Amino acid sequence: MVGDVLFGSGNATLTVDKGTVAGAVAFGSGANNTLSIAPGASVTGGLSNTGGLNTTVNGQLSVTSATAVPMTSFASGADSTVGFTADQQGAGVGSFQVANAATLGAGTKIQLGFKSKLSVAAASPFALQDLVLIHANGGLVNNGYDADLSGDLPFIYTGALRNTANDLVVSVRRRTAAELGLQGAKAAAFDAFYEVFDKDPLVASQVFGQTSASGFDGLYSQFLPDYGGGPFHAVAEASRAVSRAQSEEPTSLQSGPRSWLQEIAFGVDHSSNTGQVVYDSAGFGLAGGVENPGPGNSTVGYSVAFATSDVENSNRAFGSNLTASTLMGSLYWRKALHGIVFDASGTGGYAWFNSKRRVISNNLAGQQVLARDADADWSGAMASVRFGASYEAQFGKVYV
């Protein structure tokens, strides 16, 4: 069943024996309201009550509202699941305020979701926050609830459960970059990301919804700009491709000026062993020049070239793209000596880059629930200097 369940002022009973109820449940002012969830059944949504409420959970109750819920009694059965929601920068915590006793059955799993970030002092970003999930005036009976919160908190937080005579409390704090498994540039960017990710409510809900290391890393990585050097590596390879064209000796003796035109192609395949980034690029271009014979069987010349390439990063969502283009001019020298060709060149140019970054997140059913695009353009000057030597061996019609 999908939809809200709203009760009036009389005593109301909601019994869920099978299936799922997805929607807010609001009990009225009746003194003996009852909520009962059988094994295998679940209720997910906001929960409110203005009267008395006796709650029994043998299946799953996931409360997505962040305001305290008054109850007359509360009991969870063996291996049941009870979920709470915190909104420290808004309504507060959707705790259960129980007038009589509260009982947690053996193996009861506790989950905690967030609507906003933890409220901590700027000077202590990793300070523990104690959040009361259940307060029972008549005492809290612990029959052995599951105290392991692995996978039951947003992955950006870590916490531990404890109980007192009257309260079930979770102590929670933000994870450090190391605890998140972040290294290098990913770790350096995380503080800035954490400061602003909740400015977009939909982005915040997806970040809070990641409860595993792989889920968080897959989402977080999409937000980062290219930090592995892919476009700059591509521009460098384009410059090397032009230098290789300049270093090639003509097939016949050169007695006067000559011009040349050549297509260039290049590629990059970068695999990281640190888990940081994997990227590859493929590019092509056109280079041409004019050269003159010089003294001592040498050659001097100048060339111009244009090259462009696409860079693909492993952490990019489908639909993202990044291109690097460059326009270069070179002065070069080449000399053949006893079969060895020496060459040197100086290259300068202008490079420009175009990026479309797409962030996509899907729910458990595979439906897209988040799509954000960021377009960027930037440019800069580039320069390189090369000195090289090569040897060509010829075997009939074959040479290496």
Model confidence at 24, pLDDT cuts 50, 70, 90, reads very high
**Residue pair 107/91 in contact by the 8 Å Cβ criterion:** no
Residue 84 pLDDT > 60? yes
User: Among candidates 288, 299, 284, which has minimal Cα distance to 329?
Assistant: 288
- Encode pLDDT of 258-297 as tens digits: 899 999 999 888 765 555 567 888 999 999 999 998 887 7
Domain ranges of the chain: 5-174, 184-223, 230-399
CATH class of 230-399: mainly beta
pLDDT, residue 276, reads 56
The per-residue pLDDT for range 150-209, each reduced to its tens digit, is 999 999 999 999 999 999 999 999 999 999 999 888 899 999 999 999 999 999 999 999
What is the C-alpha separation between 245 and 264, in angstroms, rounded?
8
Q: Cα 234 vs. chain centroid, distance in angstroms?
A: 24
The encoded tokens of residue 153 equal 């908190």
**CA neighbor of 76 nearest in space, from 60, 98, 87, 93:** 60
Summarised one tens digit per residue, pLDDT across range 241-258 is 999 888 887 655 566 788
Considering the entire predicted model, what is its pTM?
0.81
Cα separations (Å) of 274 from 184, 271, 278, 279, 339?
9, 9, 10, 13, 43
The pLDDT confidence band at residue 341, using thresholds 50, 70 and 90, is confident
Q: What is the rounded distance in angstroms from the CA atom of residue 34 to the CA atom of residue 60?
A: 16
